[in-house]
Amino acid sequence: MKVKVEIVGALLKTRGQRQLECELSEGSTLRELLIELCYEPLHQRHILGAVQGEVVRHDTPLREGATVVLSTLVGGG
């Protein structure tokens, strides 16, 4: 299945591409997408994923044609 990926914020520096399309196996999760994009497990916990505009957990299955937005958690004070 194909999903569209939009990368924003600090993650854009690591990928160099704002938008891309990924081919995944049916039923793949957000975590599996992060692995496909070569994000290290240590860094994955700091990545926030939104599918179709809704923030989801990393174990959420993705669907054909979904748009996934990836960004990092940001804190401050």
Task: Give the residue with greater pLDDT, 30 vs 77.
Answer: 30
Which tens digit of pLDDT belongs to each residue from 35-71?
999 988 888 989 999 999 999 999 999 999 999 999 9
Q: SS3 for 10? A: helix
CA dist., res. 25 & res. 15, Å (int)? 22
What pTM was estimated for this model as a whole? Answer: 0.88
Computed over every residue of the chain, the mean pLDDT equals: 90
Of 29, 31, 27, nearest to 40 (Cα)?
A: 31
Which residue ranges form the domains of the chain, and what is each CATH number?
Answer: 2-72 (3.10.20.30)
